[in-house]
Amino acid sequence: MKLYMHAAACSLSPHIVCRELGIDIELITVDRKTHRTSNGEDYLAINGNGYVPALMLDDGKVLTEGPAIVQFLADSAPDGRRMLPEIGSFGRNQVQSLLNFITSELHKPMVMLFNADYATVHEAMRAVVQKRLGWINGRLAGPYLTGENFTVADAYLFVCLNWSPWIAIDLDLFPALPAFMKRVAARPAVQAALSEEGLMAFNAGGNFFAPIAYIQSAGYVGSPVRP
């Protein structure tokens, strides 16, 4: 299978899921401006919306949208039930509910905070995001969103929270979230995904990861550290 991605983008979520479940995946980078892929394909012919992620199966079928992709991956893996409970269980519906919440209430507005076209509403949008983070902060009664098990929803939340420094969201206002970030970043499979995408911590012990060029361009001090 091929996973079409950008480093540190939402495609990092299915990448983490693949590493957690031992799924063999080929990473294909997509150029945001030209929509050409690292192996020379026209990405718009693969996903007409132009954004990542997209998952191409071995038979050529393509699945888009991160929440759908991570559920497909978990259902395809022998060990998938530890990241997504079985069909018909309340636990599965709970994880699906969290995926929907993250994609609509966090992912979308956080991405819009990167876009200067929405600058006039950034302050109001940031307030909405912070309100939703307050809910998530209270939801983390255990190590992960649904308790002891690291699920596909936790991988997705980690990726979205990782964007916080770039859009002026202070996670220290929500005590459970920095601890969650540190806990997830310490997982061997997550470290493998971060390393493969060339993402580095801002400094030793840091909770946030980005390509070194991004870190340098933002003026962060210190020496970036590989996970």
Q: Are strands 2-5 and 26-29 parallel, antiparallel or unpaired?
A: parallel
Query: Which pLDDT tens digit goes with each residue over 42-100?
Result: 999 999 999 999 999 999 999 999 999 999 999 999 999 999 999 999 999 999 999 99
- At residue 213, the pLDDT reads 83
Residue among 11, 203, 213, 181 at smallest CA distance from 226: 203
- At residue 215, the pLDDT reads 80
Q: In angstroms, rounded to a whole number, what is the distance separating the alpha carbons of residues 47 and 29?
A: 13
Structure-token pair, residue 22: 């031992």
- At residue 39, the pLDDT reads 96
Residue showing tokens 């012919």:
45
Q: In angstroms, rounded to a whole number, what is the distance separating the alpha carbons of residues 203 and 48?
A: 38
E strands in 20-175 = 26-29, 54-56, 62-64
pTM to 2 decimals? 0.95
- At residue 33, the pLDDT reads 94
- At residue 227, the pLDDT reads 47
Burial of 157 (0-12, 13-18, 19+ CB in 10 A): buried
- pLDDT < 70 positions in the chain: 203-205, 218-227
Amino acid in the structure at residue 163: W
